[in-house]
Amino acid sequence: MADTRPMEHRQYAHCESGVVTALLRNKGLDLSEPMVFGITGGLTFAYLPFIKITNLPIIAYRMFPGSIIRGAVKNLAVDFKTKRYRDKREALAELTRLVDGGTAVGLQTSVYWLPYFPPEMRFQFNAHNLIVYGREGEEFLVSDPVFEHTVRIKTDDLQNARFAKGTLAPKGFIYYPIRVIPSVDFRAVIRKSIKRTVHMMLYAPMPFIGIKGIRCLARRIERLDPRKDAKAVRLFLGHIVRMQEEIGTGGGGFRFMYAAFLQEAGQLLDSPPLGEASRMMTEAGDMWRLFALACARVCKSKTADFNLGEIAELLRKCAAQEKLVYLLLKNSPLPKSSSAPAGPC
C-alpha cells in the first residue's frame, strides 16, 4: 500500500476526476487532474434521447459516472474498494468506521440534498462526487472538489444525498484506493488512452455517440418548431446549456481539460503533434461555449423569432473541429520509447 498523507483540499474542475485525483494523491500518486481525466478516457459525447433526466434526454460530454474510477483501475494499476448498499444504516456505519479510522473516501451523491450548495444550484442530479475525510460529532467533514474550501454536512443530509432516488441513483456508492503503484509506464498508458478516445469519437457504432452524436443533436435542434411550442424549445435548449455548462465542467470545460492533458502528454512524450492537437481542442472548447451562448440567448428571448438553423450550424462546427483533432491524433504516431518515467509525471 502506498503512503497515506494528511488530506489536502484542492479545488478541481470536475467532481469525479477531482475526487479520483485527490484520493490518488493522498496515497502517493501525484498526477494532475487533466492527466487523470485523459488517461482514464474521460472524454466523450453522447446524446441519449431514450434516457431521461426530468423528462429531458441525457446529453453527456464525458464518460458516464464511475468510468474514471474504472479507468484508473484499468490503466494506472490501482485497486479501488467500491460498494453500493441496500441498507442505509449499514452504509452509514461503514462510512463512520472508515473516516474515524483515518481513511478518506469518495462518495456519489445527489446535488439536490447537499445544503452547502447555493439553493439556485440544487437540482436532481445524482452523480456528484465528493470526499469525506473526517467526522466531528454529528457532522462529516467534506472535501468537495468544486468548492474553494472544505465544508461540513449533517448526517441526515448526507444520508439523503447518498440514497436519492431517480436516474443514476447513488445507492450509497462509496469508493477509495486500497493499492497504488507509483511506477507506471505513462508513455504506454497515454498512447493507449488516446487511441481509445479517438476510436470512440470517430467510429462508435451507434449514431448517438461521438462525432455522430453531436451531429444527431444538431439535427434534433433543427427539427424543433418554435411556432408550435416556443416554451418547449426554450426548455430543450436550456437543458442543453445546463448539461453543458452547469453539470461538472460541461462540454466546453471538458474539452479544455482534455486539451491540457494533450499538452502535458506532448511534453512528456516530446511530441509536437500532441501540442498542436491541444491547441485545436482548445479552439473546440471555445466553439462549444459560443454554442451555449447562442442557446442561452434563445432561452432569454421573449419572442419566438429565432433561427434554430444557425444554432444547429454552430453545433456542426463543434463536431467538425473535434473531428480534425481526432484525425490528427489518429494519423500522428506517438513515440514508443521504453524510457518511461519511474514515478508519476
Supply the CATH number for residue 93's domain. Answer: 3.90.70.10
Give exposure, 150-176, as e/b (b: 16+ Cβ within 10 Å).
Answer: ebbbeeebbbbbbbbeeebbbbbbbbb
pLDDT for 135:
95
Instruction: For residues 148 and 248, state if they share a domain.
Output: no
Task: Please tell me the total count of domains within the chain.
Answer: 2
DSSP SS3 for 158: helix
Residue 268 exposed, middle or buried by CB count within 10 Å (0-12, 13-18, 19+): middle
Query: Residue 235: inside a domain, yes or no?
Result: yes
Alpha-carbon dihedral sign for residues 100, 103, 108, 111: positive
Q: Given 147, 179, 211, which residue is the final one in a domain?
A: 179
Q: Given 164, 179, 194, which residue is the final one in a domain?
A: 179
Q: For 38-100, list the strands marked E by DSSP.
A: 43-53, 56-62, 79-83
Instruction: For residues 322 and 200, state if they share a domain.
Output: yes
Instruction: For residues 227 and 304, state if they share a domain.
Output: yes
pLDDT for 168:
86
Instruction: For residues 321 and 210, state if they share a domain.
Output: yes
Task: Enter the C-alpha cell of residue 281.
Answer: 481542442
pLDDT for 125:
82
Query: Residue 123: inside a domain, yes or no?
Result: yes
Task: Enter the C-alpha cell of residue 276.
Answer: 498542436
Residue whose grid cell is 408550435: 228
Query: One digit per residue, pLDDT tens: the chain, 345 residues?
Result: 444 456 889 999 889 999 999 999 999 899 999 999 999 999 999 999 988 877 889 898 888 888 999 999 999 989 999 999 999 999 999 999 999 999 999 999 999 999 999 987 787 789 899 999 999 999 999 999 989 999 999 999 999 999 999 888 999 999 999 998 877 888 999 999 999 999 999 999 999 999 999 999 999 999 999 888 889 999 999 989 887 765 544 557 899 999 999 999 999 999 999 999 999 999 999 999 999 999 999 988 877 678 899 999 999 999 999 999 999 999 998 877 544 443 444
Instruction: For residues 239 and 288, state if they share a domain.
Output: yes
Instruction: For residues 190 and 327, state if they share a domain.
Output: yes
Q: What is the 3-state secondary structure (H, E, C) of 203-249?
A: HCCCCCEHHHHHHHHHHHHHHCCHHHHHHHHHHHHHHHHHHHHCCCC
pLDDT for 317:
98
Instruction: For residues 234 and 306, state if they share a domain.
Output: yes
Cβ 97 vs Cβ 164: under 8 Å: no
Instruction: For residues 147 and 214, state if they share a domain.
Output: no
Residue whose grid cell is 482534455: 258
Q: Given 179, 195, 230, which residue is the final one in a domain?
A: 179
pLDDT for 251:
58
Distant-in-sequence, close-in-space partners of 289: CB < 8 Å, separation ≥ 6? 245, 252
Distant-in-sequence, close-in-space partners of 213: CB < 8 Å, separation ≥ 6? 45, 46, 47, 204, 206, 207
Instruction: For residues 223 and 265, state if they share a domain.
Output: yes
pLDDT for 122:
82
Cβ 204 vs Cβ 294: under 8 Å: no
pLDDT for 5:
55
Determine the structural domain holding residue 98 and report its residue range: 80-179
Query: Residue 42: inside a domain, yes or no?
Result: no
